Structures are given as C-alpha cells and as structure tokens.
Amino acid sequence: MHFLTIYINVEHGISNNVFVVLLIAVIIGIVPESGPHLVFVTLFAAGTIPFSILLASSISQDGYGMLPMLAESKKGFAAGKIINMI
C-alpha cells in the first residue's frame, strides 16, 4: 500500500469519490476472505479513508466464517450477504 501512495495520489481520488469508495468497500466485503479487508484497514490507519468506509467494510466482510455456509446452502449464503450489505 505504501508504494501505491507514493506513485498515485490516493487521498485526492478518495476524497473526491467517497461514495464510490464506500460502494467498493461493501462490494469487496462480499468476498468470503479476510485479506481484501486489510486494504481498508491499512488505508484507515494511514488516514486516507474515513471511519465510515472502514465500518461499512467491516460490517459487510465476514472473513472465512461464511465459507461453511456457502458449502451448506448457497441460498443461505446469499441471504446472509444481502443482509450484511443492507
């Protein structure tokens, strides 16, 4: 992330498009892994994104906890993710 902020003005892009970044955070939260969430934690720790985006990402992100649900019931997995996104 540090190399990205050296070459690209991430703060300017995020401050002009906060709602778009919020939607991206929620959409990335659909992925049932915890790795993509670390990008938002790192950006928040650097002061690049506001707490609201980190909170939205944290709420929609279930980590590996939803993988057993995905194996058991795709319908239940989709319902859980939709509830988290709302």
- What does the pLDDT look like over 7-35, one tens digit per residue? 777 778 788 888 999 998 888 887 777 78
pLDDT band at 71 (very low <50, low <70, confident <90, very high): confident
Q: Pick 2 or 76 by higher pLDDT.
A: 76
CB 14 within 8 A of CB 21: yes
What's the rounded Cα separation, in Å, for the pair 45 and 74? 34
Q: How far from 16 is each of 7, 12, 19, 63, CA to CA, in Å?
A: 18, 6, 9, 29
Neighbours of 21 (CB within 10 A): 23
pLDDT band at 51 (very low <50, low <70, confident <90, very high): very high
Q: Please report the pLDDT score of residue 1 as a whole number.
A: 59
Neighbours of 47 (CB within 10 A): 8
The rounded mean pLDDT for the chain is 82
